[in-house]
């Protein structure tokens, strides 16, 4: 078994990868001089995966909303104790998260790297669920859900997703609802674990002060082989049109919050298209863009909160602009008009060059951070993309590529505005 070295001449850097006999994809990115190591062990399984069909079964299965997040919480517990207590002995800082399309377990440390890696590989492969522990967790997560119901930043996003999507489960809170998690049982948890925590559906990324061969030795020792299972995610057909153009809620905020989303058709985007969108958003909405300057001069946004992102995953994609504003409707109008103007008049060459350099420089600089490397690698891997290919796509991107991408993005007829207003 041999580690394959992946080298990029453009950035003069390398990492190692291997498809382990257990089925796990392993990526190791050594960084000489790094003071720390960051490891992330994840599965392509998130909150949207509530309806699926296994390759070894005829019928599809539907499980309660919020079960991926619930499972993430429960994996830290075992018959022998809590994984956090084990990490305390190595000095590692550990955490986990569940997103719409993946669940990841991670740690960072400055020493005892391989001991911490052993803990990570052990507890993620050792599920332990009982009726008692599940009932206890239902109460804990129920409180968490109620807390987020009053969180303005959380509500402005999920209100927007509810306005954009008719059927896709991306509009459902990652943690589910109090009612849905009440339906979770140990049987459901084991079923989802055995389906999605198959090593063939997972990846391990380790970056920083690390020896690739020692990582591989620990994987040889700890990984448990299993028969591969392919999983088909089952989504209802989603309409192109939005559900509603505006949704508003009143919560305890000093200044209104907004998110403006532009829905796109559901298909897999190439790494080139991802790079084109990132450059487009940089030239359109960065601190140096004409749009941002106009909004700032009119006192419609502030420098600390205004942002843009490309929000995409299996079956969903949208460009989202967000921030605080005394007049969210006016900001939304300016953003829509700027996109229309750039389509009509064309993107200026100098604006394109500045944006391209900024995005490229930011991504190359991120290669100095073990945390940024590992997080980027696992996200790109689960999206069937590769780290250096994305950087090469940024370097080779042309103005006409971005202009063409704009023709199918940020279209007003597929937009919705979510606003959180102060309680009157």
Rounded CA-CA distance 294/21 in Å is 56
CA–CA distances in Å: residue 118 to residues 79, 87, 215, 220, 264: 17, 10, 10, 11, 42
- Residue 391's H or E segment, with its range, is helix 387-396
Strands (E), 129-271: 202-208, 231-233, 246-251, 257-263
Residue 112: left (phi > 0), alpha (psi -120 to 50), or beta?
A: left
Are 130 and 78 contacting, i.e. CB atoms less than 8 angstroms apart?
no
Q: Please provide residue 247's backbone torsions phi and psi, each rounded to the nearest 5 degrees.
A: -135, 135
Cβ–Cβ < 8 Å for 371, 29: no
| Rounded-to-integer distance, Cα 310 and Cα 318, Å | 6
Beta strand pairing call for 51-54 and 231-233: antiparallel
How many beta carbons lie within 10 A of that of residue 254, not counting itself?
Answer: 7
Residue 286 three-state SS: coil
Q: Which residues are catalytic?
A: 72
- Residues 406, 399: Cα–Cα separation, whole Å: 11
Residue 281, judged by CB atoms within 10 A of its CB (0-12, 13-18, 19+), counts as buried
* Number of residues that make up the chain: 424
């Amino acid at each position: 078994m041999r580690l394959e070295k992946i080298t990029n001449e453009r950035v003069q850097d390398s990492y190692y990868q291997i498809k382990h006999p257990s089925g796990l994809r392993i990526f190791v990115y050594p960084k000489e001089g790094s003071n720390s190591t960051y490891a992330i062990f994840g599965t392509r399984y998130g909150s949207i995966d509530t309806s699926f069909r296994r390759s070894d079964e005829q019928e599809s299965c539907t499980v309660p909303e919020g079960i991926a997040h619930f499972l993430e919480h429960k994996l830290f517990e075992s018959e022998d104790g809590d994984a956090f207590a084990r990490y305390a002995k190595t000095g590692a800082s550990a955490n986990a998260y569940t997103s719409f399309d993946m669940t990841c377990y991670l740690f960072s440390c400055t020493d005892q790297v391989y001991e911490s890696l052993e803990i990570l590989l052990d507890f993620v492969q050792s599920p332990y669920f009982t009726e008692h522990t599940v009932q206890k967790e239902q109460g804990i997560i129920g409180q968490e859900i109620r807390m987020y119901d009053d969180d303005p930043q959380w509500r402005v996003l999920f209100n927007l997703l509810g306005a954009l999507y008719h059927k896709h489960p991306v509009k459902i809170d990652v943690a589910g609802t109090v009612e849905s998690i009440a339906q979770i049982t140990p049987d459901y948890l084991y079923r989802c674990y055995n389906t999605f925590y198959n090593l063939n559906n997972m990846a391990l990324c380790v970056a920083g002060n690390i020896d690739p061969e020692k990582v591989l030795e620990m994987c040889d020792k700890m990984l448990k082989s299993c028969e591969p299972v392919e999983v088909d995610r089952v989504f209802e057909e989603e309409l192109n049109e939005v559900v509603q153009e505006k949704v508003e809620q009143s919560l305890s905020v000093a200044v209104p919050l907004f998110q403006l989303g532009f829905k796109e058709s559901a298909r897999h985007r190439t790494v080139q298209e991802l790079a084109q969108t990132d450059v487009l958003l940089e030239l359109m909405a960065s601190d140096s863009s004409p749009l941002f300057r106009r909004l700032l001069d009119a006192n419609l946004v502030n420098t600390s909160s205004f942002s843009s992102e490309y929000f995409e995953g299996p079956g969903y994609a949208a460009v989202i602009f967000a921030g605080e504003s005394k007049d969210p409707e006016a900001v939304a109008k300016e953003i829509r008009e700027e996109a229309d103007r750039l389509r009509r008049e064309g993107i200026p060459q100098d604006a394109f060059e500045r944006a391209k350099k900024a995005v490229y420089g930011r991504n190359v600089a991120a290669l100095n951070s073990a945390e940024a490397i590992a997080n980027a690698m696992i996200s790109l891997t689960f999206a069937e993309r590769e780290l250096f290919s994305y950087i090469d796509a940024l370097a080779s991107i042309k103005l006409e590529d971005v202009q063409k991408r704009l023709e199918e993005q940020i279209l007003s007829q597929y937009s919705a505005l979510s606003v959180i207003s102060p309680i009157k």
